[in-house]
Amino acid sequence: MNYPFWDAPLGYGILTAGIAVLHVFISHFAIGGGFFLVVSERAARRSGDSGRLEFLERLSRFFALATLVSGALTGVGIWFVIGLTNPAAVAVLIHNFIWIWAIEWAVFIAEITAAILYFYGWRRMTPAGHMTIGWIYFVFAWLSLFFINGILTFMLTPGAWLATGRLWDGFFNPTFWPSLVIRTCICGMLAGLYALLVAAFCKPAPVKARMARLSSRWGLLGLAATLPALYWYWRAIPAAVTTAALQGLPTPMQALRYSYWFAGCIAALLLVFGLILARRLHAIVAALIMAAGLGWFGSFEWFRESIRKPYVIAGYMYGNGVEVADAAIYQKDGYLPHILYRSEDDLADLFRHACRSCHTMQGYKALKPAFEGTDRAFIAAIIRGAHLLRGNMPPFYGTAAEADYIAAYIDHRLDQRSLATLSGLQGVSLGKKVFEIRCGKCHPMGGRSDKTKTLAGLTGEDYRNILDNAATLGAGMPAFTASETDRNALIEYLKTLKAGEEK
Amino acid sequence: MNLPDSNFLSAPLWLITGLHILTLSMHFAAMNFMLGGILVAAAGTRTRHRDHPMFRRLMALLPSAMAATVTLGVAPLLFLQLVYPHQLYPAAIVSGWFWLLVIPVVILAYYFLYAGSFGSKTSARSGAGFLWAALPCLVYVSLLYSSVFSLAERPDLILRLYRQSQSGLLGNPEVGYSLLRWLHMVLGAAAVGSFFASLLAKDDPELFHVFRKIYGWAIGIASAAGLAYLISLREAMSGLLRGTGAWVLAAGILASLGSLYLLWHRRFVLSAVILSASLVLMVTTRHQLRLWQLRGQFDPASWRIAPQWAAIALFAAFLAIAAAAIVTMLRLFYRHQPHS
């Protein structure tokens, strides 16, 4: 709460992910591509394959333009965007890992110098000298990954650091090694995909076919190697996190499912167009394979980011920048006295610091559709019990009055008409909608905390009693504050429930 | 469980400050060469000397200068964020959209420089068109940096601005103050650019004379802008001049004049060394000014210090290894003759 809140009309998750995924897609190619170039150059020089050398020179031009410019600057872009969207988290990372970042900077300087000299050195250096620079490039590029990987994995699995606060406990955390292996394999795969794109422009056809096959083999081998590494990575994540994800977090599991599909697409396309029909490889197909690679890598990063929820640094800081250690202070004082940068609207300030890091009113993770047709008391209750929702929401540590302020802020921006009017529904259909909006947030049918079995087969009177006493049924349960129309419709819907059946 | 407290500096303040000043000086050297080089090359191709090979050589160097600027700029930003997070992030957030726009704008400028470099292989003039295109991009970035970094020295102003708007669409309203700072930087870049241009043209007496003259004028005007900037700071200036800062500033000005004198007498290496020293002294002055500006609101010495000596030693080792690798690669690059 020591920083102002950048209130831009966009989803910060999407903004950060857009820049970060683009960066990792290029920067991993920068590592794998360096290895690909120098290994292939060595083979081409040994066999006197001038066609392959020409291809490699062209690839190195593409390599330099992509990695030196877009790769390097999107990396800086991540710094810029996270400094805007979650400065508190960046400050924690910088204060703990400044020297790791400084080391990464030192190796990055050598990496960039090597990339420039390798690119300009094709026609002015001896083969041995040129390849030496290529090897130096690869070593420093991979070292750069090594060091950044420690900080990235720390955010998901800080491990013993939470107890000791020691740098190396945080750096060599439980997912450090599996993540390093996965990323190294991805580097190899991306080298193949980028090279395939350049190969698609090669002439004559026999050279094109040879280069396409070579590139595709790299792509397939890299992809295949990531699979066992991914399993190792999954096993290294604390069981409590993976179990919670399997039981109640749809986002990371959905991301994982997407990654399977993308992996399948990449493998199939590489096999058919990269190996079997290599002579006829078209640039559009190569670009499609690249896009699938971006989708695959993006899915993996999405999985990694979303399984960490509700934290930005697991066990230490929540996604909204609230530190776990400060819980008692906020519970005592509330948030407002600790918000340093204030506008003249307390409600908006509270909303920004408690919710806005992840949610917008309309758009990314929108609250308007989630709360339309409800009321201020219900919204306040949901805020107070946010941590009970699905396990991916940070707890609200502010006071009850502050929860009510935030609820007022949200409620004021909702369409105030009744749910029946808004949805155009009535009877059982309206009841189903009431259930989804008021009950389904915590008790989704077929999901975590599904209450179908308990609720099925009761009488109308039973349902009315349950709704009247909802607030007493358990911690976090809101009182049922809907209109009489909504209440009757919900009861009609509940009467239709059958145990074990999803409606 | 008692969770770790992350509010600490993992090295003594003097070490972080020293590294910040050193790396920022390196960044400025590269940035000045790039920005000044663009100005010199773009303007030079509009003169009767446009076909001089020196312009093509300069254009060919500009993308690498941009790479050096970006890469060397990472470390000082890192050290700045470490010590001044409560000043820098709020200043960036108030100008959020403009701050974020820096990235695509620099990418665009970078590609223009590559296009200029490739285009100059046919003629310097065709490459120069791209340099003119890159120039407004870099003017934007430099203006924004002046605005944000000068705002970061005014926490009270950030509080006021944030109260007005939270959408990240504000700049530093004290335009005169940040413009003077910007003007001093850009003129300094023009001076350094013309210094390097005179080195590249040292075998052509006429052109050497022109750049030497430009260098002299640029130093003079940059000093005047710097002085005006200092005067605009009022209290911070008087504080600076009462302490050791006055000596550092005086030494910096003398070093700039010394480098001009040495360049005039064709003592190139010594002139470059003195110019570098003047850059370090100016960056040190800038650091002292920041401390004066923040006096009473924030003192970097208030940070708790918990050094991570093993990591610092590892950083020193990797820095040495990287430096050795760079020297080795440059020797390899310049030693070997063309093989085809």
Q: Could B1 and A65 be called an inter-chain contact, meaning their C-beta atoms sit closer than 8 Å?
A: no
Q: Could B100 and A80 be called an inter-chain contact, meaning their C-beta atoms sit closer than 8 Å?
A: yes
* Domain-located, residue A59: yes
pLDDT band at B124; cut points 50, 70, 90: confident
pLDDT at position A233: 97
Domain match, A82 and A167 both: yes
Residue A358, chain B, CB below 8 Å: the answer is: no
Helix/strand/coil for B198: helix
| pLDDT tens profile A452-479 | 888 899 999 999 999 999 999 888 899 9
Give the H/E segment covering residue B44: helix B13-44
| CA distance, residue A230 to nearest chain B CA (Å) | 30
Domain match, A191 and A220 both: yes
Q: Could B10 and A95 be called an inter-chain contact, meaning their C-beta atoms sit closer than 8 Å?
A: yes
Q: Is A241 left (phi over 0), alpha (psi -120 to 50) or beta?
A: alpha
The runs of H, that is alpha helices, within A157-201 are: 161-164, 167-171, 176-199
Q: What is the mean pLDDT of residues A233-258?
A: 90
pLDDT band at A248; cut points 50, 70, 90: confident
Domain match, A313 and A244 both: yes
Domain spans, chain B? 13-294
- Residue A83 burial (10 A CB sphere; 0-12, 13-18, 19+): buried
* Distance in angstroms (rounded) separating the CA atoms of residues A180 and A193: 20
Q: What is the mean pLDDT of residues A443-456?
A: 84
Token readout for A111 is: 């990496």
- Domain of residue A219: give its range: 12-318
The answer, yes or no, to whether residue A7 has pLDDT greater than 80, is: yes
Residue A109, chain B, CB below 8 Å: the answer is: yes
* Domain-located, residue A5: no
| Cα–Cα separations (whole angstroms), residue A37 to A27, A33, A55, B115 | 15, 6, 10, 24
Domain match, A237 and A379 both: no
Longest Cα–Cα distance in chain A: 90
* Distance in angstroms (rounded) separating the CA atoms of residues B42 and A238: 58
- Chain B residues touching residue A6 (CB < 8 angstroms): 93, 96, 166-168
Token readout for B66 is: 């941009």
% residues pLDDT > 70 (chain B):
99
Domain match, A404 and A433 both: no
Final residue before a domain boundary, out of A386, A412, A438:
A412
* Domain-located, residue A338: no
The answer, yes or no, to whether residue A421 has pLDDT greater than 90, is: yes
Residues sharing a CB contact under 8 Å with residue A44, sequence separation 6 or more, in sequence order: A50, A52, A53, A56
Q: Could A79 and B325 be called an inter-chain contact, meaning their C-beta atoms sit closer than 8 Å?
A: no
Domain match, A400 and A435 both: no
Q: Could B75 and A114 be called an inter-chain contact, meaning their C-beta atoms sit closer than 8 Å?
A: no
The answer, yes or no, to whether residue B337 has pLDDT greater than 70, is: no
| CA distance, residue A45 to nearest chain B CA (Å) | 13
Q: Could B81 and A90 be called an inter-chain contact, meaning their C-beta atoms sit closer than 8 Å?
A: yes
Q: A501 or B189: which carries more pLDDT confidence?
A: B189
* Distance in angstroms (rounded) separating the CA atoms of residues A127 and A133: 10
Q: Could B11 and A98 be called an inter-chain contact, meaning their C-beta atoms sit closer than 8 Å?
A: yes
pLDDT at position A500: 59
Residue A63, chain B, CB below 8 Å: the answer is: no
pLDDT at position A219: 97
**Which among A93, A99, A122 is the top mutation candidate for probing chain B, defined by the most B β-carbons within 10 Å of its own β-carbon?**
A99
pLDDT band at A368; cut points 50, 70, 90: very high
Residue A434, chain B, CB below 8 Å: the answer is: no
* Domain-located, residue A331: no
Q: Count Cβ neighbours within 10 Å for each residue of B96-126 and write b for 16 or more, e otherwise.
A: bebbbebbebbbbbbbbbbbbbbbbeeebee
Q: Could B329 and A114 be called an inter-chain contact, meaning their C-beta atoms sit closer than 8 Å?
A: yes
- From chain A residues 293-332, the ones with a CB under 8 A of any chain B CB are 315-316, 323-325
The answer, yes or no, to whether residue B188 has pLDDT greater than 80, is: yes
Q: Which CATH number characterizes residue A435's domain?
A: 1.10.760.10
pLDDT at position B51: 82
pLDDT at position B44: 87
Please identify which residue in the block is written with the tokens 């921006």.
A413
Q: Could A136 and B322 be called an inter-chain contact, meaning their C-beta atoms sit closer than 8 Å?
A: no
CA B94 to chain centre: 23
pLDDT band at B235; cut points 50, 70, 90: confident
**From the list A68, A96, A162, which residue is nearest B3 (CB)?**
A162
Pick from A196, A157, A151: which is nearest to A175 by CA? Answer: A157
Q: Could A6 and B1 be called an inter-chain contact, meaning their C-beta atoms sit closer than 8 Å?
A: no
The answer, yes or no, to whether residue A405 has pLDDT greater than 60, is: yes
Average pLDDT across chain A, whole number: 94
Domain match, A367 and A463 both: no
* Distance in angstroms (rounded) separating the CA atoms of residues A470 and B177: 61
| CA distance, residue B263 to nearest chain A CA (Å) | 29
* Distance in angstroms (rounded) separating the CA atoms of residues B143 and B160: 21
A5, B164 in Cβ contact below 8 A?
no
pLDDT at position A499: 66
Q: What is the mean pLDDT of residues B172-186?
A: 90
Domain match, A245 and A268 both: yes
| CA distance, residue A392 to nearest chain B CA (Å) | 21
| Cα–Cα separations (whole angstroms), residue A80 to A7, A404, B88, B102 | 16, 34, 11, 9
Domain match, A93 and A108 both: yes
Residue type, A449: S
Q: Could B10 and A99 be called an inter-chain contact, meaning their C-beta atoms sit closer than 8 Å?
A: yes
% residues pLDDT > 90 (chain B):
84
**Which among A41, A57, A98, A111 is the top mutation candidate for probing chain B, defined by the most B β-carbons within 10 Å of its own β-carbon?**
A98
The answer, yes or no, to whether residue B340 has pLDDT greater than 50, is: no
Pick from A254, A245, A258, A268: which is nearest to A294 by CA? Answer: A258
Domain match, A460 and A401 both: no
Q: Could B166 and A6 be called an inter-chain contact, meaning their C-beta atoms sit closer than 8 Å?
A: yes
Residue type, B297: Q
* Distance in angstroms (rounded) separating the CA atoms of residues B34 and B44: 15
Say what the ipTM of the complex is: 0.95
Domain match, A165 and A308 both: yes
Q: Could B339 and A126 be called an inter-chain contact, meaning their C-beta atoms sit closer than 8 Å?
A: yes
- Chain B residues touching residue A348 (CB < 8 angstroms): 166
Pick from B97, B218, B188, B107: which is nearest to B148 by CA? Answer: B97
Count the domains in chain A: 3
pLDDT band at A501; cut points 50, 70, 90: low
pLDDT at position B338: 52
pLDDT at position B176: 82
Helix/strand/coil for B295: coil
- Chain B residues touching residue A103 (CB < 8 angstroms): 311, 314-315, 318
- Chain B residues touching residue A74 (CB < 8 angstroms): 103
The answer, yes or no, to whether residue A503 has pLDDT greater than 50, is: no
**Based on C-alpha coordinates, what's the Rg of chain B?**
21
**Based on C-alpha coordinates, what's the Rg of chain A?**
27
* Domain-located, residue A339: no
- In chain A, which residue's Cα lies nearest the Cα of B328? A133
* Distance in angstroms (rounded) separating the CA atoms of residues A408 and A348: 10
Q: Of A92-96, A113-117, B72-76, B124-128, give the lowest mean pLDDT range.
A: B124-128
* Domain-located, residue A501: no
Domain match, A401 and A423 both: no
Q: What is the mean pLDDT of residues A49-74?
A: 93
Please identify which residue in the block is written with the tokens 């599991």.
A253
**From the list B8, B107, B314, which residue is nearest A70 (CB)?**
B107
- Other Cβ atoms closer than 10 A to A70: 20
**From the list B73, B312, B329, which residue is nearest A117 (CB)?**
B329
Token readout for A366 is: 């929108």
Q: Of A117-131, B20-34, B114-128, B139-153, give the lowest mean pLDDT range.
A: B114-128
Cα three-residue angle A134-A140-A141, rounded to 5 degrees: 85
Q: What is the mean pLDDT of residues A421-438?
A: 95
pLDDT at position B339: 46
- Counting one residue from chain A and one from chain B, the pairs whose CB atoms sit within 8 A come to 217
pLDDT at position A135: 98
* Domain-located, residue A341: no
The runs of H, that is alpha helices, within A366-483 are: 368-371, 376-384, 400-412, 419-423, 427-434, 452-455, 460-468
- Chain B residues touching residue A133 (CB < 8 angstroms): 329, 332-333
| pLDDT tens profile B281-306 | 999 999 999 999 999 999 999 999 99
